[in-house]
Amino acid sequence: MKKNALLVALAMALSGCATTSDVDKRIAESQSKTDKKIESVETQVEELQQKQTVTEAKVDDQARQIEQIGQTAQDALKRAQDAGVLAKGKIVLAQAFAEDKVRFKVASYELTKEAKAALDEFAVKIKSLEKGVWIEIQGHTDDTGGADVNDQLGQQRAEAVRRYLAREHKLPLSRMSTISYGDTVPVESNKTSAGRAKNRRVVVIVLE
């Protein structure tokens, strides 16, 4: 009897050790899963914060561009009014084509394939208005060259857009004017290549 009792006690002890070890293993696994979940949440939070930072930067960039467009649009309106070409004196559309890929290489006024595609969309939009409008095309540059060079280059870029709209979409030349702002109205800093690329652009103001 004593021997049987000893065996039972030993079996219970071993069973207890196995149970404790199993519990410890499960706790460790659970803790590992919890740690991974926490790391995943932290990663997601960090990604969201990064996206928010990028979004805020884009909003600030757009705000600056809208401010610049607003001023040059008002300038265009005054010029058209002084020339007596407007019936209503109203700004219908002010569009910066930097974001629509109408950008230029350094010292170039050649329209790229992407630029032409963006201008094609613009022309369709103008024709859909089904009314007479006045279009001012404003050419801009970075500050790579001198003032005289940039003034000329900005004018060449504006003229390239005017010719394309007239030749490819039959928009009347007599209803389109061009002007160069050279490097005087940058939308980004000229200290970086990305900023200079955005400054090599055209802005189109549509008036009626």
Mean pLDDT of the chain: 81
Flag whether the pTM goes above 0.75.
no
Most confidently modeled range among 13-22, 95-104, 156-165, 192-201: 156-165
Q: Domain total for the chain?
A: 1
User: Mind listing the pLDDT tens digit for each residue in 37-90?
Assistant: 676 776 776 776 666 655 444 444 544 545 656 889 999 999 999 999 988 889
Residue 105 lies in a domain: yes
3-state secondary structure the chain: CHHHHHHHHHHHHHHHHHHHHHHHHHHHHHHHHHHHHHHHHHHHHHHHHHHHHHHHHHHHHHHHHHHHHHHHHHHHHHHHHHHCCCCCCCEEEEEECCCCCCCCCCCCCCCCHHHHHHHHHHHHHHHHHCCCCEEEEEEECCCCCCHHHHHHHHHHHHHHHHHHHHHHHCCCHHHEEEEEEECCCCCCCCCCHHHHHHHCCEEEEEEC
Position 53 scores a pLDDT of 58
Q: How far is CA 192 from the centre of its chain?
A: 16
CA–CA distance, 172 with 162 (Å, rounded to integer): 9
Residue appearing with tokens 């005289």 = 148
Residue 30 lies in a domain: no
Percent of all residues in the chain with a pLDDT value above 90, rounded to a whole number: 47
Position 168 scores a pLDDT of 97
CATH code, 82:
3.30.1330.60
Q: Does the pLDDT value for residue 12 go beyond 90?
A: no
Give the pLDDT mean for 114-128: 93
Position 133 scores a pLDDT of 95
Burial of 197 (0-12, 13-18, 19+ CB in 10 A): middle
Residue 5 lies in a domain: no
Structural domain boundaries enclosing 169? 44-207
Least confident among 22-26, 105-109, 140-144, 180-184 = 22-26
Q: Does the pLDDT value for residue 154 go beyond 80?
A: yes
Residue 34 lies in a domain: no
